[in-house]
Structure 1
Amino acid sequence: MLEIIGLIAPFFGLIAVGGIAGRAKKLPVSELGWLNVFVVYIALPALFFSLLSETPVEKLTQWSFIATNVGMTFTVAAVTFGLGMLFSRGKVADSTIQGLAGAYGNIGYMGPGLALLVFGPEAAVPVALIFCFENIMHFTLAPAMMALAGRDTESPARLALTVVRQVVTHPFIVAVFLGVAAAVTGWEPPAPLARLIDYLAQAAAPCALFAMGVTLANRRTRGVPGALGYIVPMKLLGHPFIMLAGLTFFGPFDPVWVGTAVLLAALPTASNVFVMAQQFETWVDQASASILVTTLLSIVTVTLLLYGIESAGLLQ
């Protein structure tokens, strides 16, 4: 257990440093603009490209793994949505954000750094595939459900076009496609460009975690919503358990891929859930509380999960 704590302490420590800096210097989230641009549009895309461009093509077409992973995450979203509908007495918009809070993990900022730290380079491909296809699902599901709830006045055709545009222009997904294209064609960047990409990739995790800490320090909650009584256990415990069960039943898959998928499923609610709540003007404060509470509790739950992974002999 001490080995596990020593492994992830620097990881969560970076989040804590960001939180302390945000509080001490009273940094508003708005002042993180350029750092977020660097992380989202430059550093993390460079990391995804770097990892995927050197991957054998046959590893990029594990469709059964992709389908199972996305299917299990969708199952978690559907169950949480159903609980939301039950306890909110049929409020589709609120229940949609609750479904996202229970199923949409922080696989962008936290996922790559933690998975590579735990499993090494072998985790690169499953991380990228999970990120790409789960985000496509979430970006599609949220506006479709909001349209059903009457929160989106766009026509179905215009809504579909908006969803496609969000997916194909997301910098992470663009980087994934470019990395796959480089792997398929065998293209290698010139040495100076390759070094630049490596420098940017190495900066991705520290900058992302620091920015996440500052953002968490600025979270304000107006009480703890009752829905967290089922969202928190679903996100931190139910999601990884359902993911493990699904991958075991529909497998076998590479143990490192299974471990990576379960680890990413155990991550706390993504900040994008708050962004979507703001976009659709529903369940905004509660979404913020979900992110804060799941992130704080994930320090314990992720540590225990990693202890289980170590006991299974998967830790690098």
Structure 2
Amino acid sequence: MTQVLSGFFIIWLIILVGYAVGKTGALGKNAQPVLSRVAFFVASPPLLFNTLSNSNVFVVLGPQLWIATLSAGIAAGLYLVSARFLLTRRSGSEKMIAALSASLINSANLGIPIAAYVLGDASYSAPVILFQLAIYTPIYVFILDTQTLKESQQGTSGTKVVRAGFWRSLWRIFATVLRNPLIIGSAAGLLFSITGWQLWEPLDESINLIAGAAIPTMLMAFGISLVGSRPLDKEQGRRRDTVLAATIKLLIHPVVAWLLAQFVFQLDAHAVLVATVLASLPTAQNVFVSASRYNTGLIVARDTVFVTTILAIPAMIIVAGLLA
């Protein structure tokens, strides 16, 4: 338990450094997006490559991948069913964004640091990252593409337009997956793990140095993003949406993951802890990116990301205390 609390202390300290940087404006107004892009496009792919190339591929593609898949699907489904009765005046696309808010976790920016410093190995985050990028992202991109197209075409006919939108959605799915740097880094790492290949030593050392920047830049960017946030504004009329999504994300999602790990897959105690802690991670910022892209569900996406991000680490400390 001491090691777990020590890991959380390290993470919070770096987040506070980021908050101080954002509050003082030491790096300018564009510090958060720049640090986030450095972490995502530059440092995280080498980190995932290093992590996965030295991991057992059968562990990465094993029960944790299935737990991530099933628990996220159940969380999203529960939101959609609940919203059908409780939030009847929302569009289908807005409900989908909110369902993502309840089920899509911050597997990279916070997942990798939590896995490394709290769970003891950054590779524990890999199954969740692979699920979200290679499976979940294509599915929700397709759903949002087709749903927003359907909503824009309501009251008109036009099979050709819908058909063109269908093929456009398929192309976007493949393009999204194939161009994602985290997918590329993960796929390369898995390839090296399977084949046993080794990099030329100077190249390997260069990759290690770049990978070392991933976790601090992720956490500082997150700390900067907390400056000036004001969630749950009553006038915006989305409090119930946010509370429902955040409750499912922070309570139901981890409980489902625990039940699956403990009773369905019957994993050992540490693996159960891994599955439950990772399911307790906050909503991914990618949800807000998607909401912006499709211009729907912006308020609930933004507020759920903020609320779950603030409450997730205390929630994970409780989970770790109960299961560690």
Task: State the TM-score, normalized to the length of structure 2.
Answer: 0.86
Q: Whole-Å Cα distance in 2 between the matches of residues 296 and 65 of structure 1? A: 25
* Pairs within 5 Å for 1:79-158: 79-89=78-88, 91-121=91-121, 124=123, 126-146=124-144, 147-149=146-148, 150=150, 155-158=165-168
> What corresponds to 1:56 in structure 2?
56
> What corresponds to 1:165 in structure 2?
175
Q: Which moved more, 1:50-59 or 1:143-152?
A: 143-152
What's the CA shift string for 1:55-80, capped at 9, x where partnerless?
23443442x54233301211111111
- Cα 1:222/1:194, change in 2 over 3 Å: same
Q: Whole-Å Cα distance in 2 between the matches of residues 6 and 202 of structure 1? A: 19
Q: Whole-Å Cα distance in 2 between the matches of residues 68 and 296 of structure 1? A: 24
Q: Is the 8 A contact 2:47 2:208 kept in 1?
A: yes
User: Shift of the alpha carbon at 1:11?
Assistant: 0.4
Q: Whole-Å Cα distance in 1 between the matches of residues 65 and 31 of structure 2? A: 37
After the TM superposition, list the runs of 4 or more consecutive aligned residues in structure 1 that deviate by more than 4 angstroms: 1-4, 26-29, 151-154
- Cα 1:74/1:45, change in 2 over 3 Å: same
Q: Whole-Å Cα distance in 2 between the matches of residues 57 and 142 of structure 1? A: 26
Q: Is the 8 A contact 2:273 2:320 kept in 1?
A: no
Q: Is the 8 A contact 1:35 1:211 kept in 2?
A: yes
Task: State the TM-score, normalized to the length of structure 1.
Answer: 0.88
Q: Whole-Å Cα distance in 2 between the matches of residues 127 and 193 of structure 1? A: 25
Specify the code of the residue in structure 1 equivalent to 2:209: Y
Q: Is the 8 A contact 1:76 1:102 kept in 2?
A: yes
- Cα 1:101/1:29, change in 2 over 3 Å: farther
Q: Which moved more, 1:255-264 or 1:102-111?
A: 255-264
User: Shift of the alpha carbon at 1:26?
Assistant: 7.9
> What corresponds to 1:38 in structure 2?
38
What's the CA shift string for 1:251-287, capped at 9, x where partnerless?
1335433322211110111111110111111121221
> What corresponds to 1:309 in structure 2?
323
* Pairs within 5 Å for 1:220-299: 220-221=230-231, 223=233, 225-299=239-313
SS of residue matched to 2:51: helix
User: Shift of the alpha carbon at 1:28?
Assistant: 6.8
> What corresponds to 1:175 in structure 2?
185
Q: Is the 8 A contact 1:130 1:261 kept in 2?
A: no
User: Shift of the alpha carbon at 1:250?
Assistant: 2.3
Q: Is the 8 A contact 1:18 1:213 kept in 2?
A: yes
Q: Which moved more, 1:31-40 or 1:75-84?
A: 31-40
> What corresponds to 1:314 in structure 2?
none
- Cα 1:186/1:252, change in 2 over 3 Å: same
Q: Which moved more, 1:46-55 or 1:212-221?
A: 212-221
Q: CA RMSD in A?
A: 2.3
> What corresponds to 1:73 in structure 2?
72
- Does structure 1 residue 194 correspond to structure 2 residue 204? yes
Task: List alignment gaps of at least 5 residues for structure 1.
Answer: 311-316
Q: Is the 8 A contact 1:53 1:183 kept in 2?
A: yes
Q: Whole-Å Cα distance in 1 between the matches of residues 125 and 244 of structure 2? A: 26
Specify the code of the residue in structure 2 equivalent to 1:240: P
What's the CA shift string for 1:27-85, capped at 9, x where partnerless?
676444432232111211111100111123443442x5423330121111111122223
- Cα 1:272/1:151, change in 2 over 3 Å: farther
Specify the code of the residue in structure 2 equivalent to 1:133: F
Q: Is the 8 A contact 2:46 2:211 kept in 1?
A: yes
Q: Which moved more, 1:66-75 or 1:249-258?
A: 249-258
> What corresponds to 2:24 in structure 1?
24
Q: Is the 8 A contact 1:21 1:214 kept in 2?
A: yes
Q: Whole-Å Cα distance in 1 between the matches of residues 167 and 271 of structure 2? A: 37
Task: List alignment gaps of at least 5 residues for structure 2.
Answer: 153-161
User: Shift of the alpha carbon at 1:106?
Assistant: 0.8
Specify the code of the residue in structure 2 equivalent to 1:194: D
Q: Whole-Å Cα distance in 1 between the matches of residues 26 and 241 of structure 2? A: 30
- Does structure 1 residue 7 correspond to structure 2 residue 7? yes
Identity of aligned residues (%): 23
- Cα 1:91/1:289, change in 2 over 3 Å: same
Q: Whole-Å Cα distance in 1 between the matches of residues 29 and 242 of structure 2? A: 24
